[in-house]
């Protein structure tokens, strides 16, 4: 054996010649400690880490069984071997479970048998040590995972309970409390509210708190997709299904299988697509465009709209049966003008969120005059418009206070106004804000089309319809 022995062996026996024989036989392989009685053995154990403990049963003052009982708790890792004669067998058998004895050997012991027994004991010691280390590592990992999970949940529940959805408004807190309850179910949810009130954030919060949070979350903006492509986007298509379908394509529902799909602006779907969506809700099945095979999926569906779907049903533009299928758990967002107490915390949140990204770390406060200006506006574009304003004027601010001096909102529209803003007005405001942010850039990376998650040609078409010029400031 090369180098210093790795393992420590304690041999306790009141016969000196047995101790000498043992030391001579095994000192080349192990660090051997010997004791003439159990009390000396206890002293050695106090000062040394012993891997294998061997003791005679019959000794004056304290027997081997009593010795092992004494050290079972104080030195639990040492592997214990007891030496005995035939007359002690009944005592030894009863003591095995009580003392945790690994093995007993008959006296006089044979050197080859003793050598193999020690080797087996050391293997057991290593196995126990490795298992103990693994258990400790697993315990530490679980503790860390539990702590990280707790931390992430607390981060997610910051102030309002849902991360970026910040509120001190009592009415909105009730909405979020109910949202948290439905999140843990697999129920279909219908989120209704004005543009910019955070419907997608609410959908993501439902997903994050659900049992499917480790599964896919697939988002589809129904308003951003051309009518002739939306069926293919939702359900996929086979090669040759239409001109330009040069290969098979997997639809969003297939991607969301086992997870969650979020259909934003569902009120824009045609009646034909609505009927196919109803089939997915009722049967969990559909067919790819141009295909004959029936595909099955198990997907939680969350939908959102800024439309009055009941009115759309009355107008014959939305299927009544689909509406009731979707309206299992309705959630209504609250316009920012109806929760003005949230404007300050949201404004400061967006200030913190964007200043580093925009290289404006020095801008850290919103003073009273500028805050009053924010509070006096009715925010027809809601939280999204507020974020855009903060982001826009961060860019032009010089100094450490957000400068809104060049912002001239329409102050004739008070926060408690009942003026109804049309969908087109909201859409125009939002597109104009994004164009200001991108300095009029529509196409390419960082362009308005990318930020709005819309095809550039579709965006140009919408801009033309809404009378928006590319160089809006």
pLDDT at position 266 over 80: yes
- Top-confidence residue, 418 or 48: 48
Count other Cβ atoms within 10 Å, centred on residue 408: 8
Report the top-level CATH class of 8-130: alpha beta
pLDDT at position 409 over 80: no
pLDDT (0 to 100) of residue 162: 55
The values of phi and psi at residue 189, to 5°, are: -125, 140
Local confidence band at 163 (pLDDT 50, 70, 90 cut-offs): low
Is 384 within 8 Å of 430 (Cβ atoms)?
yes
- The pLDDT of 140-161, averaged and rounded, is 50
- The pLDDT of 82-104, averaged and rounded, is 77
Is 195 within 8 Å of 426 (Cβ atoms)?
yes
Local confidence band at 149 (pLDDT 50, 70, 90 cut-offs): low
Sign of the four-CA dihedral 442, 448, 449, 454: negative
pLDDT (0 to 100) of residue 145: 62
pLDDT (0 to 100) of residue 473: 39
Q: Which residues pair with 56 in a beta bridge?
A: 83
Q: Which residues of 289-315 are buried (b: 16+ CB within 10 A; e: fewer)?
A: bebeeebebebbbbbbbbbebeebbee
Domain ranges of the chain: 8-130, 170-332, 336-466
Paired tokens of 290? 């141009």
Sequence-separated (6 or more) residues with CB below 8 Å from residue 375: 340, 343, 344, 415
Sign of the four-CA dihedral 407, 200, 356, 441: negative
- The pLDDT of 133-143, averaged and rounded, is 76
- Reported for 2-5, long-range contacts at CB under 8 A and 24+ positions apart, including other chains, are 4/31, 5/29, 5/30, 5/31
- The pLDDT of 263-281, averaged and rounded, is 93
pLDDT (0 to 100) of residue 133: 86
Local confidence band at 274 (pLDDT 50, 70, 90 cut-offs): very high
Sequence-separated (6 or more) residues with CB below 8 Å from residue 100: 68, 72, 76, 80
Run of H or E residues at 98: helix 89-99
Q: If one looks up domain 170-332 in CATH, what number appears?
A: 3.40.50.300
Q: If one looks up domain 336-466 in CATH, what number appears?
A: 1.10.8.60
Tens digit of each residue's pLDDT (9 = 90 or more) over 286-305:
998 888 889 999 999 999 99
DSSP 237: B
Count other Cβ atoms within 10 Å, centred on residue 20: 11
pLDDT (0 to 100) of residue 414: 45
- Region of 388 (left: φ > 0; alpha: ψ -120 to 50; beta: rest) is alpha
Local confidence band at 159 (pLDDT 50, 70, 90 cut-offs): very low
Average pLDDT value for the chain: 85
Is 344 within 8 Å of 379 (Cβ atoms)?
no
- The pLDDT of 97-106, averaged and rounded, is 83
Tens digit of each residue's pLDDT (9 = 90 or more) over 50-86:
999 999 988 989 999 899 988 988 888 899 999 987 6
Paired tokens of 72? 């079972």
* Upstream peptide bond of 108 is cis (omega within 30 degrees of 0): yes
Local confidence band at 236 (pLDDT 50, 70, 90 cut-offs): confident
DSSP 376: T
Paired tokens of 416? 């408690």
Among 403, 400, 399, which residue's Cα sits nearest to residue 389?
403
Length of the chain: 473
Q: What span, in angstroms and rounded, lies between the C-alpha atoms of 29 and 5?
A: 6
Among 246, 376, 175, 113, which residue's Cα sits nearest to residue 104?
113
Domains 8-130 and 170-332 share a fold: yes
Count other Cβ atoms within 10 Å, centred on residue 405: 11
- The pLDDT of 428-454, averaged and rounded, is 78
- Top-confidence residue, 408 or 252: 252
pLDDT (0 to 100) of residue 184: 92
pLDDT (0 to 100) of residue 140: 63
Q: Which residues of 147-177 are buried (b: 16+ CB within 10 A; e: fewer)?
A: eeeeeeeeebeeebbbbbbbbebeebeebbe
- Top-confidence residue, 109 or 100: 109
The 79-84 sheet, strands edge to edge: 31-35, 8-12, 52-56, 79-84, 101-106
pLDDT at position 403 over 70: yes
Tens digit of each residue's pLDDT (9 = 90 or more) over 316-358:
999 999 999 999 889 999 999 999 999 999 999 999 999 888 8
pLDDT at position 428 over 80: no
Lowest-pLDDT choice from 137-151, 206-220, 310-324: 137-151
pLDDT (0 to 100) of residue 197: 92
Whole-model pTM over 0.85: no
pLDDT at position 45 over 50: yes
- The pLDDT of 184-205, averaged and rounded, is 92
Q: What span, in angstroms and rounded, lies between the C-alpha atoms of 377 and 337?
A: 8
pLDDT at position 156 over 50: no
């Amino acid at each position: 054996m090369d180098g210093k022995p790795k393992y420590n062996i304690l041999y306790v026996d009141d016969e000196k010649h047995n101790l000498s024989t043992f030391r001579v036989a095994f000192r080349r392989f192990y660090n051997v400690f010997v004791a003439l009685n159990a009390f000396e053995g206890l002293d050695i154990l106090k000062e040394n880490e012993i891997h294998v403990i061997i003791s005679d049963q019959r000794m004056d003052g304290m027997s081997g069984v009593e010795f092992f009982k004494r050290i079972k708790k104080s030195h639990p890792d040492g592997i214990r071997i007891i030496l005995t004669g035939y007359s002690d067998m009944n005592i030894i058998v009863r003591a095995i479970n009580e003392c945790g004895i690994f093995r007993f050997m008959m006296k006089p012991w044979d050197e080859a048998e003793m050598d193999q027994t020690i080797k087996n004991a050391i293997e057991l010691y290593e196995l126990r040590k490795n298992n103990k280390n693994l258990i400790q590592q697993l315990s530490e990992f679980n503790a860390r995972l539990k702590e990280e999970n707790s931390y992430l949940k607390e981060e997610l529940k910051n102030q309002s309970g849902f991360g970026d959805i910040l509120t001190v408004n009592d009415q909105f807190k009730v909405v979020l409390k109910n949202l948290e309850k439905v999140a843990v179910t697999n129920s279909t949810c219908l989120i209704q509210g004005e543009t910019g009130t955070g419907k997608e954030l609410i959908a993501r919060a439902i997903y994050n708190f659900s049992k499917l949070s480790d599964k896919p979350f697939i988002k589809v903006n129904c308003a951003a997709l051309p009518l002739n492509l939306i069926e293919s986007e939702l359900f996929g298509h086979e090669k040759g299904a239409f001109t330009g379908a040069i290969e098979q394509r997997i639809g969003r529902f297939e991607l969301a299988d086992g997870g969650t799909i979020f259909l934003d602006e569902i009120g824009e779907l045609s009646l034909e697509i609505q009927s196919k969506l109803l089939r997915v809700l009722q049967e969990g099945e559909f067919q790819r465009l141009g295909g004959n095979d029936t595909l099955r999926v198990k997907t939680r569906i969350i939908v959102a709209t800024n439309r009055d779907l009941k009115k759309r049903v009355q107008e014959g533009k939305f299927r009544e049966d689909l509406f009731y299928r979707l309206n299992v758990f309705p959630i209504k967002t609250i316009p920012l003008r109806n929760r003005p107490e949230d404007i300050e915390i949201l404004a400061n949140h967006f200030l913190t969120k964007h200043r580093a990204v925009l290289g404006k770390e020095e801008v850290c406060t919103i003073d009273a005059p500028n805050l009053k200006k924010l509070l006096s506006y009715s925010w027809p574009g809601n939280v999204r418009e507020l974020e855009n304003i903060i982001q826009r004027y961060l860019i032009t601010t010089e100094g450490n206070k957000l400068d809104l001096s060049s912002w001239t909102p329409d102050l004739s529209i008070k926060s408690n106004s009942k003026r109804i803003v049309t969908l087109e007005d909201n859409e125009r405001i939002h597109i104009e804000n994004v164009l200001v942010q991108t300095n009029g850039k529509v196409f390419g990376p960082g362009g308005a089309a990318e930020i709005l998650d819309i095809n550039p040609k579709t965006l140009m078409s919408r801009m033309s319809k809404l009378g928006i010029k590319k160089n809006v400031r």
